[in-house]
Amino acid sequence: MAYVIGSACVDIMDRSCVEECPVDCIYEGERKLYINPAECIDCGACETACPEQAIAVDRLADPEHRADNRRFFDETLPGRDAPLGEPGGASGLGPVGADTALVGGR
């Protein structure tokens, strides 16, 4: 069960969670961060590091953001040719520069 970053991260992106993540599974959109559910090891380091309290375990997260987090990796984002899928680490990919419709439309 992965963790999910919610709406409190939009336009804030403190990145404390990124620094604490031992598996590099937190990816940067244009306005929000996203946790890859296939790469997350459920350690909880991101949740305790977030000063915005924007991170929750998947089963407790807002259903809208849980589904939106998966879309970030499973659907083709604006300006991209294919879904991100499982790139194997956020630092190698760098900022994605796009968000899902839920975040981009706000």
- Domain-located, residue 92: no
- Domain-located, residue 104: no
Global confidence as pTM:
0.93
Helix (H) or strand (E) holding 91: helix 90-93
Q: How confident is the model at residue 105 (pLDDT cuts 50, 70, 90)?
A: low
**Span between the terminal Cα atoms of the chain, in Å:** 28
CB 32 within 8 A of CB 65: no
pLDDT in tens, 11-66: 999 999 999 999 999 999 999 999 999 999 999 999 999 999 999 987 787 888 88
Question: Which residue range is the domain that position 73 belongs to?
Answer: 3-86
- Domain-located, residue 96: no
- Domain-located, residue 64: yes
- Domain-located, residue 53: yes
Instruction: Supply the pLDDT for residue 104.
Output: 82
- Domain-located, residue 21: yes
Q: What is the number of structural domains in the chain?
A: 1
CB 89 within 8 A of CB 20: no
- Domain-located, residue 102: no
Instruction: Supply the pLDDT for residue 72.
Output: 97
Q: What is the CATH number of the domain that holds 26?
A: 3.30.70.20
Instruction: Supply the pLDDT for residue 3.
Output: 93
